[in-house]
Amino acid sequence: MHGLPPASAAIFTSYLYHSTTAGPRGRASIRRQPAPHTRPPACVDVRIASIIEAPLAVGESMGFGATRKEAELLALFATLTVAQSRAYYTRLWSPNSADPLASKLAQLGSDRKQRLILFLGRHRAYR
């Protein structure tokens, strides 16, 4: 048997076909350029701090107030660009002990803090 086998015999033989395209499954691979790391404006830090430090409304329980603040922070994080989300994600994922924003975010509790940081990580992946 010389040359290429018929289609039915290709299943049972060990012929390897060389593909000229790069990447898995014959698709051309596209390398994306990373987004530039830019520091978010200071007004966003002030807005985050003001949401966290806002007092509870009259008759509002601690749990409901924390949930409201988390929702407001998620709405604010949704308006950030990819570069800003990436900057906040890296800043808050491994915070510096002297970072005032990280210490304020810890006031909401570890579960809420974790959800907010993970939102920043997912948010930048889908934009």
The sign of the torsion formed by the CA atoms of 116, 118, 121, 124 equals negative
10-37 per-position pLDDT tens digit:
455 444 444 444 555 655 555 555 445 5
Angle at 114 between CA 62 and CA 88, to 5 degrees: 110
pTM score of the predicted model: 0.65
Over residues 55-90, the pLDDT tens digits come to 988 999 999 999 999 999 999 999 988 888 888 898
Locate the domains of the chain by residue range.
42-126
Length of the chain: 127
Q: Name, in order, each residue with C-beta under 8 angstroms of 1's C-beta and a sequence gap of 6 or more.
A: 9
CB 93 within 8 A of CB 117: yes
